C-alpha cells in the first residue's frame, strides 16, 4: 500500500491542456475551460460516447484507448465512454464497415437515442482507406450511416481524435 501511495505522490498530475480548436465562422471558438460547463448546460451531464468497431484493424482502437491515459484524461474533460448505445449521445465508429458488421452497426445506431451524432474515425472510417469497398467491405462509414464528422489518420493521434470530438459537439452546442 505504501508503495502504491508513494508512486501516486511521486507521479503527480500529468494531464495536458485540451487541444485548441480552429476558429470557425458559424460558431464562436469556445474557451476550452468553458467547454465542460457548456456540455453540462446543453446535455445536463457528461458527453457520452459509444464506440463501435465496424471492422477496423484495431489500430484506431489503440489510439481511442490512449485518450483515457493520464496525459489526455478524457473523462476529466467531461467526456465519457459508455457501455451501451442507449446511454450515448455520440457514436464513434472505426474501420471500413465490414459486410459482416453492417447489421450490428445499424442496430447500434438505431439504439442511440435522438438527437445523435456520428463520428467516423481513421482513414478507413472516413473514406474506406486501404480496404475500400469490396465483396467483404462497404467502405466508409458514410456508406452505411449519416456521419457528422470524420477524423483521418492511420491511426489518427489521440489529439486529433479529441479535437474531432470537440468539433463534432461544437455545432450542437452553438445551436443550443
Partner 1 sequence: MTLQLSDFLERHRRPLAGNLPATRISADREQWLQLAAWLRESGARLLTLWGADDRDRDGCFRICAVYLLTEGVLLVEHAMKTTEATASASYPGLAAIFPVAQRMQRAVYDLLGISAEQADGSEADRRGWLRHGGWPETCFPLRRDANGSRQHPNVSAPYPFVTVEGSGVHEIAVGPVHAGTIEPGHFRFSVVGEKMLRLEARLGYTHKGVAKLFETMPQSSGHRLAARISGDTAVAFSWAYCTALESLTATVCPPRATLLRALALEHERLANHLGDLGALGNDAGFAFGLTHFSRLKEDLLRCNTVAFGARYLLDYVLPGGVAVDLPAEAPARLLGLYSELEQSVANLRSIYDEHAGLQDRFRGTGRLQQPIAEKLGALGLVARASGIACDLRVDHPWPSYDWVATKCITQSTGDVAARVQIRFDEAFESLRLCRAFLQDIPVGPIQAPVPAAAPYRLGLGVIESWRGPVLIALEAGPDGSIRRCHAHDPSWQNWPLIEYAVIGDIVPDFPLINKSFNLSYSGQDG
What CA dihedral angle connects 96, 98, 104 and 105, to 10 degrees?
Answer: 20
- Residue 46 is placed in which grid cell? 457528461
Min CB(120)–partner 1 separation in Å: 15
d(Cα 99, Cα 144) in Å, to the nearest integer? Answer: 10
From candidates 8, 13, 114, 176, binder to partner 1 by CB under 8 A: 8
Closest to 119 (Cα-Cα) out of 152, 85, 92: 92
Is residue 43 classed exposed, middle or buried when 0-12, 13-18 and 19+ CB atoms within 10 A define those classes?
A: middle
Nearer to partner 1, 18 or 52 (CB): 52
- H-state helical runs in the chain: 2-11, 32-43, 59-66, 102-111, 122-127, 158-175
57 scored as a contact of partner 1 (CB under 8 A): yes
Is residue 43 part of the contact set for partner 1 (CB under 8 A)? no
Q: Does 13 engage in binding with partner 1 (CB under 8 A)?
A: no
Among 19, 43, 46, 61, binds partner 1 (CB under 8 A): 61
Give the residue with the Cβ less far from partner 1, 61 or 167.
Answer: 61
Count of residues of this chain found to bind partner 1 when the rule CB under 8 A is applied: 52
Contact 142, 120 (CB under 8 A): yes
Alpha-carbon distances, residue 43 vs 48, 64, 169, 172 (angstroms): 9, 22, 11, 10
In this chain, which of 138, 150, 164, 168 binds partner 1, going by CB under 8 A? 138
Query: Least distance to partner 1 from the beta carbon of 97, Å?
Result: 10
With beta carbons less than 8 A apart as the criterion, state whether 137 and 97 touch.
yes
The contact pattern for partner 1, residues 64-93, with x = CB under 8 A and - = no contact, is xxx-xxxx---------x-xxx--------
Q: Confirm or reject binding of residue 113 to partner 1 (CB under 8 A).
A: no
Binding region for partner 1 (CB under 8 A):
3-4, 7-8, 11, 14, 51-66, 68-71, 81, 83-85, 95-96, 98-104, 108, 129-131, 133-138, 154-155, 157
Amino acid at each position: 500500500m505504501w508503495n502504491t501511495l508513494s508512486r501516486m505522490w511521486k507521479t503527480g498530475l500529468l494531464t495536458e491542456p485540451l487541444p485548441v480548436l480552429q476558429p470557425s465562422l458559424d460558431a464562436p471558438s469556445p474557451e476550452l475551460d468553458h467547454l465542460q460547463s457548456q456540455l453540462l448546460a446543453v446535455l445536463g451531464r457528461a458527453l457520452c460516447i459509444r464506440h463501435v468497431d465496424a471492422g477496423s484493424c484495431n489500430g484506431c482502437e489503440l489510439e481511442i484507448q490512449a485518450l483515457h491515459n493520464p496525459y489526455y484524461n478524457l473523462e476529466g474533460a467531461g467526456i465519457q465512454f459508455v457501455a451501451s448505445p442507449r446511454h450515448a449521445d455520440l457514436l464513434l465508429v472505426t474501420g471500413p464497415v465490414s459486410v459482416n458488421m453492417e447489421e450490428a452497426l445499424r442496430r447500434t445506431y438505431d439504439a442511440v437515442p435522438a438527437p445523435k451524432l456520428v463520428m467516423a474515425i481513421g482513414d478507413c472510417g472516413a473514406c474506406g482507406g486501404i480496404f475500400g469497398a469490396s465483396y467483404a467491405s462497404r467502405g466508409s462509414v458514410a456508406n452505411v450511416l449519416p456521419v457528422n464528422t470524420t477524423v483521418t489518420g492511420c491511426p489518427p493521434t489521440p489529439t486529433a481524435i479529441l479535437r474531432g470530438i470537440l468539433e463534432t459537439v461544437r455545432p450542437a452546442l452553438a445551436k443550443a
